[in-house]
Structure 1
Amino acid sequence: MSKIERPRYGIDAPPIPAVLGAAGLAAIAGSVWWPGGRVPLAVAGAVLVAGAGIYLHTTLRGKLRAWNGILDRAGLAGDERLLDLGCGRGAVLIAAAQRLPRGRAVGVDLWTADQSGNRPETTLANAAAAGVADRVEVHTADLTALPFPDASFDVVTSAMAIHNIPSPEGRRRALDEAVRVLRPGGRLLIADPSMFVRRYADHLGRGSLRGLGAGYWYSGPWISVSLLDA
């Protein structure tokens, strides 16, 4: 019997941990040859290498654990229609679909290279590997102009996506679009760097904020992730 493949969600912005790790190793190596700056270089190198390790842990494990907790606490009934903004290779989309046996999980993305191997075929293959292909669909769409009618989803999620929109105006449009497609009484769950999430809450004028802990740090506490639950 052939082995069943497990979903593979890739690495977020893979050049970043590569650069952190390489710079850290270079600093540690350089400290051997520069006695006058040995300790500062060695310490800086250790911090950079540790940051690369923390980053990889977050992208490969930490964010998955965080979102399992977020979705469990959301109290889904199992028949909701859920939209995931910037779904990438489907980590949140598929975790949601596993909790929607009678529902539908819809993902949208522009499939840019901010995540390794980011393309719709990969997301659908991951859904099949997780056994939820029958309740998952993906679309190519701009988060600032969603191709869905008003009030068409019970839940909207987003993980580390909206902050990638380059302008504050664009990020606000994406938030407004997320609210537009939510049904009355719907749930908005957005995880992004903490400094951005505070601005999202100010723009919407609603919702609670919660830090997601060290398991969702991108290299260290200076890039922590918070959740907006509105």
Structure 2
Amino acid sequence: MAGLLFGAIVLVALAVISFALDILAAGVAFLFGGLYTLASALSYLYTTRRGRFAVWAEELKRLDGDERLLDLGCGRGAVLLMAAGHLDKGRATGVDLWPSSGKQDQSRNGDATIRANAAAEGVEDRVELVAGDMRDLPFGDGAFDVVVSSLAVHNISDAEGRERAIREAHRVLRPGGLMLIADFRHTPAYEAALRGLGVVDVRRRDAGWRFWYGGPWFSTDILEARKPS
């Protein structure tokens, strides 16, 4: 976002200079570019601060309240804690590469932050945090009723690793369970991996403008699937 804002400032400055030099065509072009870049920055800011949470809030309304839910790559716990708020009789488990696991996740998240936030939200009794790699989950087959993930699987650098993560998500999901994966990359490959596992109740849909990171060219898809009973 900082890059977009800097770019907008530079383009507007060039527009002002061009108008001052009476180079109208260049001024109009720079001004249009600056406004366009500023709009992209505002879109990114909205999605980061509000939009993505609004989308997930709607997705999680379908929870009954007694599910065992797993959040893959839970990061700082935004989706995890939102889910926990719906689980008055259930439990939400978050898995990520915490520093204590000997590995490092992308944004240097820490489980202590999530625990503090869970306590502040009054859901600490419903939340469990586990250090682990989503390509090799430390859970038994069919351990969860719901598996969710938000902008995490794409952080795995290789296609084989991402497919392993999807296969693991499928493995730990109980028959008839729900999978919801939001990502802005590789979602067709996730869908193909699930179909290769025999999942036919699967669809990929656009999460809409609230999950744009700068504009429609950087939109987020939601992959929704039901494991065969």
TM-score tier, shorter chain, comes to: 0.7 to 0.9
CA gap of 1:217–1:114, structure 2 versus 1, over 3 A, is farther
Report the Cα offset of residue 31 of structure 1.
2.0
Larger Rg computed on CA atoms: 2
Query: For the residues of structure 2 that align with 1:229 and 1:42, how far apart are their CA atoms?
Result: 41
Query: For the residues of structure 2 that align with 1:141 and 1:38, how far apart are their CA atoms?
Result: 53
TM-score, normalised to structure 1's length? 0.86
Report the Cα offset of residue 199 of structure 1.
2.1
| Aligned residue runs from structure 1 range 79-228, under 5 A | 79-111=66-98, 114-115=106-107, 118-193=109-184, 196-205=186-195, 206=200, 207-228=202-223
Other-structure match for 2:16: 32
Gap runs ≥5 in structure 2: 99-103
TM-score, normalised to structure 2's length? 0.86
**1:121-174 residue CA offsets vs partner (Å, 9 max, x unmatched):** 111111111110111011222111111111111110001111111111111010
Query: For the residues of structure 2 that align with 1:20 and 1:140, how far apart are their CA atoms?
Result: 34
Query: For the residues of structure 2 that align with 1:43 and 1:96, how far apart are their CA atoms?
Result: 41
Given that 2:43 and 2:214 are in contact with CA atoms closer than 8 Å, whether structure 1 keeps it comes out as: yes
Query: For the residues of structure 2 that align with 1:139 and 1:26, how far apart are their CA atoms?
Result: 45
Gap runs ≥5 in structure 1: 1-16
Given that 2:154 and 2:186 are in contact with CA atoms closer than 8 Å, whether structure 1 keeps it comes out as: yes
Task: Kindly report structure 1 stretches of 4+ aligned residues shifted beyond 4 Å.
Answer: 111-115
Report the Cα offset of residue 183 of structure 1.
1.1
Report the Cα offset of residue 200 of structure 1.
1.2
Matched residue pairs, number? 210
Query: For the residues of structure 2 that align with 1:49 and 1:119, how far apart are their CA atoms?
Result: 32
| Aligned residue runs from structure 1 range 35-46, under 5 A | 35=23, 37-46=26-35
Report the Cα offset of residue 118 of structure 1.
2.5
Q: Percent identity?
A: 48
Computed over aligned residues only, the root mean square deviation of the Cα atoms, in angstroms, reads 1.6
Report the Cα offset of residue 45 of structure 1.
1.6
Give 1:27's aligned amino acid: L
Q: Determine whether 1:229 maps to 2:224.
A: yes
